[in-house]
Structure 1
């Protein structure tokens, strides 16, 4: 994997994890109700959940690549279309936060497990990784090494993002519930998804 490709993945992932989805809303809900004490367990749960979803996705991608390079290329085309569609939906979503304070006291283990389940069992997460990861994989390079780098990078970003949201929610509650802020993140993420999809389609067309 080239440094340029890794930097592109890092930049794309850094913005994408900011998109307020079910996982972010869960982290914010705990932080609104229980403050900073919820940050570390929920962030760990998010990272473990993303690791679970990414691993399931990677196993399928590895089997597909080993079976047929042509099918893997077809998946990249389908993934590009999916990313464009998802990006357009996010762009039009506007600001619709629905994070309510989770005021019931919960032990750290329960918050961690809750965050892990919400993240890992979200079927959209697995679908997203199947569409997103192939855009940054070189079929001619070692599959396992590339995947290890991409997974580690994404998990660090997801963990840091969850901690950041928890910190902001516990100290600046109005900001994380502001529709304007949520709309801005949705448009940034949506625009990035569309760009990633179009960029993949362009690369496949030029090298196809």
Structure 2
């Protein structure tokens, strides 16, 4: 069940830059270490509904329902584009600014949670990730999936926290250059836009 192979698989999945990594790193750059860790916590909580869906078998329904899948997908696209607009125009959570006030940690965490809640691919991901590591005993399958999901979330938080701490450490160097801040804001907006485009082209 829980093995080194599973932990390494989780680590490989989490290290690859995606929506959560971009959001966490950008938040740490824009708001500092505490905000970055709040973003990491929020992004870690986001997969919970998808994990529950996989355990309960609802992910299969989501996968076969084109309407339900499309609604969730386009809600995610709209949210990513909104974050991209905020980073580009200023005032958004991801906008990098010399202001050192961290802002509301709860709002930052909630936004991170929404990023993953609105990603329908996560339900399918858990259905693909967990079964190969189950013991094969139907009587313990639910408990095993819960345990594997807990390990995945722990690895997710630790990985994202590392990204947050690294980005926060680079914050001072970034804030000393207005040109660097401008280019980073454009890069963050572009990254969110590309992720939105990728999600928009995903099919059931």
Shared fold (TM-score greater than 0.5)?
yes
The alpha-carbon distance between structure 1 residues 103 and 63, as it changes in their structure 2 partners (threshold 3 A), is: closer
Query: Which of 96, 106, 116 pairs up with 1:103?
Result: 96
Q: Deviations over 1:58-94 (max 9, x none)?
A: 2117999xxxxxxxxxxxxxxxxxxxxxxxxxxxxxx
Q: How do 1:166-177 and structure 2 match up within 5 A?
A: 166-172=164-170
Question: Is the contact made by 2:10 and 2:152 (CA closer than 8 Å) also made in structure 1?
Answer: yes
Q: Secondary structure at the match of 1:20?
A: coil
The offset of 1:145, in angstroms, is 2.1
Query: Which of 149, 152, 168 pairs up with 2:150?
Result: 152
Q: Deviations over 1:151-208 (max 9, x none)?
A: 111111111111111111111369xx8xxxxxxxxxxxxxxxxxxxxxxxxxxxxxxx
TM-score between both structures, scaled by the size of structure 2: 0.60
How many corresponding residue pairs?
Answer: 139
Partner of 1:139: 136
CA RMSD after TM alignment: 2.8
Q: Secondary structure at the match of 2:109?
A: helix
TM-score between both structures, scaled by the size of structure 1: 0.59
Runs of 5+ unmatched residues, structure 2: 62-83, 88-93, 174-183, 185-204
Runs of 5+ unmatched residues, structure 1: 65-97, 178-208
